[in-house]
Amino acid sequence: MLSIIGRFLPENEKDIAEREKKEQRIKTLEAVTALPETVVSKGFKRSADVSESSINIWDTAPASENVTLDFTQVYTQAWVEALVKDLMAAGINPKTEHISISVRLVFDGGKSVTGSDQTKSFGRSRYSPYDDKIDWISGDS
């Protein structure tokens, strides 16, 4: 009965402040994931999935880009490092606030057996707040 009544009571100030803090954190995380115009102008595209505890980025290389394993490793690691630095500059420490970061670069994989467009990836770079380091993860995992 009390839980039903509680739904109709106004939120207390602590709950409101906590919700606003979470919303601001998500906005900050989303802001640091934006792909710079200089990279967009070269044909790269980005999609990102952001939550309170993770940033997952999938960048798509243009067809004109010669994507190699070495390029993918350097590209994704550089972006993970940049995101960690940007978060720190915004006052968010991904280690202490347990935020994992993953960046994957995908590229045109031609056509599937049924004629659908495919993408390929050599792997991704990931920041783990538990180890406080960046790892390379091979393949599609």
pLDDT value of residue 141: 57
- What is the C-alpha separation between 56 and 48, in angstroms, rounded? 6
pLDDT value of residue 71: 94
Residue 83: both structure tokens together: 């995101």
pLDDT value of residue 4: 54
Name residue, tokens 């999609």: 47
pLDDT value of residue 86: 94
Q: Most distant CA pair in the chain: distance in Å?
A: 64
pLDDT value of residue 1: 46
User: Which pLDDT tens digits describe the chain residue by residue (141 residues)?
Assistant: 445 555 555 567 778 878 888 888 888 888 889 999 999 999 999 999 999 899 999 999 998 888 999 999 999 999 999 999 999 999 999 999 999 999 999 998 888 899 998 888 999 999 999 999 999 999 865
Q: Please state, in angstroms and as integers, the Cα–Cα distance from residue 60 to each residue in 7, 18, 111, following that order.
A: 44, 35, 16
Output the pTM of the full model: 0.81
DSSP helix, strand, coil percent of the chain (3-state; round to 5): 35, 30, 35
pLDDT value of residue 64: 87
The alpha-helical segments, DSSP class H, found in the chain are 2-8, 13-32, 37-40, 69-89
Name residue, tokens 């970061």: 101
Among 69, 29, 32, 67, smallest CA distance to 51 is for 29
CA angle 123, 128, 129 (to 5 degrees): 165
DSSP-assigned letter for residue 111: E
- What is the C-alpha separation between 103 and 128, in angstroms, rounded? 12
